[in-house]
A and B are shown apart, each in its own frame.
Chain A
């Protein structure tokens, strides 16, 4: 019974459907077209039309209200009046082996005066002669009559000292490496940078807008890992890889840690993975190596394997400014593309004259300045290791060492107490200061800097004071 009813239903449906089709055949053509058009319109409305955004058109009155309402922040936020930058020690006189603060003299273990050129009468004389010939300022950038023959002489001397083809000088130490990196590395290029580099290099890396790959400080295996990853990436897209430049940015002797970079292994990797090495030797120039020619001399590596060595004239040389040396092919590019070189006034001639005289002293035939400095650094390192409660960070041959308190006692406040105590005893040291937006903020430490003229007794005295300070502070 049911099946016949079903059959009837199906049959009736079939006839209905058939009659529908028949009626289609009989309708006029335009009607069919119209129907199809309606169906397509409905389909389009459902599927493809995006909802129209209501344009926020404001009236002039509303705009004026918004403008009147808007309150900007104050130009600068309030600062803590106790911040060290607002309570600096003001000095008097020459800041050489000894400093005078508030009328009292003390031994100086804080300024970057490695070779004790500050206050050197020979250098001062040459600077005076330069003022008498050239005046003080250079009154223009290098391109527009700011190139003085003494600049050319200094560049030649620096290139000769490092046995490189060409040198170039800058008028500010910070701007040297911060202008060099963006001159070569552009957007999309790859920079492999050690995490422990100092702030100027970080700013240079930021200004270049390149892809940055940070590797753990002095950790070669981490660098190799990054290089291998990049290699795999390159093999996937070899055409693109052929246009991307790669650079390794390191320091010879790290200012924030006092240790040497593992240069030999890095040079090996350079030829394996095809990157160029830019090394900043601000601290190691004049201090490392038998004649002060830096880390390449210490490791006995051919300087031509390093593409560019940049450094500062503000540490060992005791002047102001910075420089870079390397092959002509690499260095010459900076004369048109380094912003800190092209768009800034050149170095005042008296400072260039002082730098030349300092180089003369360093290159004298029988000088043992750098050797002595390395020896004294080793001795100081041994003595410091004997003091309990301090962690010495840095190489033994490095004249720049960082001192930290052991364990969880290492805070800036405690270190500052140590510094204050040392000052009362006649030793000037300083807590290393950093800005908070460092990429990898180093742990708080006291930065100890050795002056080559310090005697053994003075080094002993330093250690005694440090020991007493430690006891006083942790009691």
Chain B
């Protein structure tokens, strides 16, 4: 017994609980054992749907190596020094001031921007601006055309050469590969354009509701196994304009610290009090729930009218998945309500693409308010809220977007309807399986090569840590030179230390594309020495 278990352990990759590093504030999540190497080589679809919560929840957040942290701080310090030097040179007119000038400057107006606010923009962001906002000239599918742009003055202005660069797309949110310019969805969208025109120029409450809106909402409710749903034209606005309809003054909102800014804006506009709990930390959440119910409002001591927990399904910068079974248990125990934002998980997670509930095998009625977007997995635009009919009716009456914002455009709605119908058929199932396979393959290879990769092994969002701002920039430019477009993010979208590259895997990626990408990452990772992981041995791709 002992012998067999020890031999199993020697083949497996163990994840111990590491003490939280002083430099790295992310705490370790799990101490489960990965499945053995054998299983991972012959990965089968059924393993994921096995209701073993530990297996579904296994996530890894390796702490920052000390030398990387020191070098990163040093890099920022040097950048700041140079920034001050350049500002000094510009202010003393030794160097020419670039960038736009306030037309009202000399007339005694208060400056529109404080000089320290734009210090970062002038001196750090502009130097590396070419890695962001890259324009594309084709459909954002698995491979696309980037418009070539060249700067002669260190990114202050660009000129377009007129040529395009063909690149593999690891940056767009195209999880199920519905970003297509031909095929059944595109054809349906074109027919909708011919029948209904582009827009109807009115709000839903007045004369903007068309039959296809009603159809979409019914289809969506059936897809998610809920009573009712309502759709809006913008995902960001869905959060920002509907949380005020659900929460108000006198309520408490407990939100995860890594929540998206649209959720935070919605919470602020609602007038409710809000507190954050540590990312995916159920113990912290429970402690805060208990304290909230026992003590009530901190100043008036009145009990809260209701408590809403706001989490996301898949966190877009961390790649982690919310701990839904534990959240449901907590929510039921303390009579709180749960709002789950499935922007990145609907369509992409679960056996049938229904999101995190499908992934964990939980009844949809356990989550009070389900929110999601159509941009990522359905290749369209917009957002929705789903739940009980009483909730949706209330939102229809009180939502800012329902009363004041234009209704969704016909081809956009048709694309969603077509993709929802496609997901029910075998072709849709194939896409879901392909995405899951691609995700696991890509993540496993990166981890085996010795890179630090965050998040759950089933999440299609794959963040790989690079830490230093200069390395982040060089990685991005080198990847583009090799024909692969990636998204790199640094401060202030992430913490100062944790600059990273975030890969978005798609069902449209072929094994060949992923291998090309992996080879490029392998080369560049060796050139710039990005293999920070101490838990996994650093290996070259050819050794795997």
Contact = CB atoms under 8 A, between A and B. Distances in A.
Nearest to A70: B293
18 contacts: A72-B305, A76-B391, A90-B214, A111-B200, A133-B139, A136-B186, A137-B381, A139-B379, A143-B133, A149-B147, A174-B400, A175-B237, A199-B403, A203-B269, A320-B199, A320-B233, A330-B112, A336-B125
B295 to A, nearest CB: 9
Contact of B180 (A86, A90, A135): A135
A200 B234 CA distance: 14
B193 interface: yes
B65 interface: no
Contacts of A351: 198-199, 409, 412
Given A73-B305, A198-B404, A118 B198 contact: yes
B151 to A, nearest CB: 15
B397 interface: yes
Contacts of A108: 207
Contacts, number: 346
B262 interface: yes
Interface in B309-330: none
Interface of B: 100-104, 107-113, 121, 125, 132-141, 144, 146-147, 169, 171-174, 178-182, 185-186, 189-190, 193-211, 214, 233-237, 240-241, 246, 260-262, 265, 268-269, 290, 293-294, 303-307, 334-337, 368-369, 373-376, 378-381, 390-391, 393-398, 400-406, 408-409, 411-412, 415, 485, 487
Interface residues of A, number: 113
Interface stretch (A1-9, A18-26, A376-384, A427-435): A427-435
A387 interface: no
Contact of B198 (A124, A134, A276): A124
Given A318-B199, A329-B101, A139 B179 contact: yes
Contact of B234 (A79, A139, A146, A171): A171
Contacts of A83: 397
B201 A89 contact: no
B236 A148 contact: no
Contact of A90 (B113, B169, B211): B211
B89 to A, nearest CB: 21
B133 A147 contact: yes
B380 A147 contact: no
A466 B280 CA distance: 60
Nearest to B175: A139
A274 B210 contact: no
Contacts of A244: 110
For the complex of A and B, the 4 pairs showing the least CB-CB separation, nearest first, are A344-B236, A76-B394, A329-B100, A172-B234
Contacts of A171: 233-234, 381
B202 A140 contact: no
A78 B412 contact: no
Q: Which of A71, A138, A173, A351 has the most CB of B within 10 A?
A: A138
A289 B172 CA distance: 41
Contact of A276 (B104, B203, B261, B376): B104
B403 to A, nearest CB: 5
A319 B376 contact: no
Interface in A196-239: 198-200, 203, 206-207
Nearest to B109: A274
B102 A242 contact: no
Given A118-B200, A320-B406, A140 B236 contact: no
Contacts of B240: 175, 178
B182 A132 contact: yes
A123 B198 contact: yes
Contact of B194 (A110, A128, A178): A128
Interface in A336-367: 336, 339-340, 343-345, 347-348, 350-351, 354
A211 to B, nearest CB: 14
